[in-house]
C-alpha cells in the first residue's frame, strides 16, 4: 500500500512569491524524504544548473485527498545544503531561537479577494456594485460572494490541524479574511503558507482565483492587509512592555526597515484613508484604526495583552514580518 504526499514550497517569483506543489507516492510507513525540483521553472535557478532541494519541515493531514495522504511544507535549499536566497524561513529560524525565552506569539489576519475572470467576485460585468457598507460581516446574496468556498476552506484548514482562529467577510464585495494564531513565529508562518495554499487550491475547484493583491480594486474600495497581532510573555503580563514594543517599532530607521518589507504595493494601500495610517508616518494608539499600530481597547483596560501592527499588506511574507517584529520588539524588551 502507498500514500500521496503533496510537497508544497514557496518559489522565487519577485516581488511576491507564489506557491508550488507536486505529488510524491510513498510506501506505507515511509517518512517523506528530501526531494528535488526544477528551479529554473520557479525563478530559483538557471537552466544550466537547475536542481534545487525540498527539505520537509512540516507534515499534516491532506484534507482534500483525505485518508493517509499528507501535505508536506518544505524549505528550499541549494544542492550543497545552504538555504536558497528565496528561503525566508531560514532567516527567521535563528531570530526565533535567539529570543525564544520571551515566548512570542503571533495572530495574523489574512485578508484576500476572490476574482472571477478580471473582476472581483460580486462586481457586475462592466459596472460596479453598491458602495461599501453592507458587505463587512454581512449576510444575504446581495452582500456575500463566495461563502461556499470560504466555508470549505475553513473546514479544510481545521482538518489539516492548522491554527486557524476565525473567518469574516470584509468591507469590499468578494473580500474575506481568515486568522491564523496565536502561534509561535515559525508556526504562524508555516500555518499561514499552508492555509494560503489550501485557499488557492479550494477556490480553484470553483473556477475562482484568490488574490493577496493589496489594492485589488482602484477607487473607493478597501485594500487587503495582513494585520499582525503580536505579544511576548512580558506583554501578556504588563502594560510597560506593550508601550516599549510600540515605541521600539517607531524608533529611528525602524518604520522604514519594516514598511519596505511589509509586502508589495504598500503605498497604494497605506494612504491614510480606508482605515489605514499613511505609510510614511509611524503612529500608535488605543483603539485607533487610523494608526500604524493599534493597542486594542481591552488591552488598555486590562493593562496587558498584545498589539496589532496594521501595516503589513495581504501579500506580506509571514516569515519576514515575524522576523522583523521579533527582532525589533524583543531586542527592545530585553534591555
> Which chain residues interact with ligand ADP by CB under 6 A?
105-107, 109, 165-166, 179, 181-182, 227, 229-231, 236, 305-306, 308
Tell me which residue of 89, 38, 321 sits closest to 194, measured CA to CA: 89
98 burial level (CB within 10 Å; 0-12, 13-18, 19+): middle
Q: Which is nearer to ligand ADP, 37 or 306 (CB)?
A: 306
Nearer to ligand ADP, 134 or 296 (CB): 296
CB of 229 to Mn ion, least distance (A): 7
- Peptide bond just before 182 cis, omega within 30 deg: yes
Using CA atoms, how far residue 201 sits from 106, 126, 138, 304, 335, in Å, is 25, 28, 25, 39, 45
Partner touching 233 among ligand ADP, Mn ion, none, CB below 5 to 8 Å by kind: none
The reply on whether position 309 binds Mn ion by CB under 5 A is no
Of the pair 181, 263, the CB lying nearest ligand ADP is at 181
- Residues in contact with 161: Cβ distance below 8 Å, sequence separation at least 6, in sequence order: 60, 61
Cell of 38: 526544477
Phi, psi (rounded to 5 degrees) for 110: -90, 105
Q: Which residue is nearest to ligand ADP (CB)?
A: 107
Residue 165 binds what, of Mn ion, ligand ADP, none (CB under 5 to 8 Å, by partner type)? ligand ADP
Q: Are strands 70-77 and 2-10 parallel, antiparallel or unpaired?
A: parallel
CA–CA distance from 333 to each of 96, 110, 148, 152 (Å)? Answer: 14, 27, 44, 41
And the C-alpha cell for 221?
Answer: 474600495
Task: Give the residue with the Cβ less far from ligand ADP, 115 or 230.
Answer: 230
Toward Mn ion, which CB reaches closer, 77 or 109? 109
Pick what 37 binds: ligand ADP, Mn ion, none; C-beta below 5 to 8 Å, kind-dependent: none
Site string for Mn ion, 100-139 (x = CB under 5 A): ---------x------------------------------
Asked whether position 177 contacts Mn ion by CB under 5 A, the answer is: yes
Cβ closest to Mn ion, residue 99 vs residue 315: 315
And the C-alpha cell for 87? 528561503
Instruction: Confirm if 152 and 164 have CB atoms less than 8 A apart.
Output: no
Provide the minimum distance between the beta carbon of 110 and ligand ADP in the complex, in angstroms, as a whole number.
9
Compute the radius of gyration of the chain from its Cα atoms. Answer: 20
Point out which span in 68-76, 206-214, 222-230, 314-322 binds Mn ion (CB under 5 A). 222-230
CB of 187 to ligand ADP, least distance (A): 12
Residue 88 preceded by cis peptide, ω within 30 = no
Binding residue for Mn ion (CB under 5 A) from 119, 201, 215, 227? 227
Amino acid at each position: 500500500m502507498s500514500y500521496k504526499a503533496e510537497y508544497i514550497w514557496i518559489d522565487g517569483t519577485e516581488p511576491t512569491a507564489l506557491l508550488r506543489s507536486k505529488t510524491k507516492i510513498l510506501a506505507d510507513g515511509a517518512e517523506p524524504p528530501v526531494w528535488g525540483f526544477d528551479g529554473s521553472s520557479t525563478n530559483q535557478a538557471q537552466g544550466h544548473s537547475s536542481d534545487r532541494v525540498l527539505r520537509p519541515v512540516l507534515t499534516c493531514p491532506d484534507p482534500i485527498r483525505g485518508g493517509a495522504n499528507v501535505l508536506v511544507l518544505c524549505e528550499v535549499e541549494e544542492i550543497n545544503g545552504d538555504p536558497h536566497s528565496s528561503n525566508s524561513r531560514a532567516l527567521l529560524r535563528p531570530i526565533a531561537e535567539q529570543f525564544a525565552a520571551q515566548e512570542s506569539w503571533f495572530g495574523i489576519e489574512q485578508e484576500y479577494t476572490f476574482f472571477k475572470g478580471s473582476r472581483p467576485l460580486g462586481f457586475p460585468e462592466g459596472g460596479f456594485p453598491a458602495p461599501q457598507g453592507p458587505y463587512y460581516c454581512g449576510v444575504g446574496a446581495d452582500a456575500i460572494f463566495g461563502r461556499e468556498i470560504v466555508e470549505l476552506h475553513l473546514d479544510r484548514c481545521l482538518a489539516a490541524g492548522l491554527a486557524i482562529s476565525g473567518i469574516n467577510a470584509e468591507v469590499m464585495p468578494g473580500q474575506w479574511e481568515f486568522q491564523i494564531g496565536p502561534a509561535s513565529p515559525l508556526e504562524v508562518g508555516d500555518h499561514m503558507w499552508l492555509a494560503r495554499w489550501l485557499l488557492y487550491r479550494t477556490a480553484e475547484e470553483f473556477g475562482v482565483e484568490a488574490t493577496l493583491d493589496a489594492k485589488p480594486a482602484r477607487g473607493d474600495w478597501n485594500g487587503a492587509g495582513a494585520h499582525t497581532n503580536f505579544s511576548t510573555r512580558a506583554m501578556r503580563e504588563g502594560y510597560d512592555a506593550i508601550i516599549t514594543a510600540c515605541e521600539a517599532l517607531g524608533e529611528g530607521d525602524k518604520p522604514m526597515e519594516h514598511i519596505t518589507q511589509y509586502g508589495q504595493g504598500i503605498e497604494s494601500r497605506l494612504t491614510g484613508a480606508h482605515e489605514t495610517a499613511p505609510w510614511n508616518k509611524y503612529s500608535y494608539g488605543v483603539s485607533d484604526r487610523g494608526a500604524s499600530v493599534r493597542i486594542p481597547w481591552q488591552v488598555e483596560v486590562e493593562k496587558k495583552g498584545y498589539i496589532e501592527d496594521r501595516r503589513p499588506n495581504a501579500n506580506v511574507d509571514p516569515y519576514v514580518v515575524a522576523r522583523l517584529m521579533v527582532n525589533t520588539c524583543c531586542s527592545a524588551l530585553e534591555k
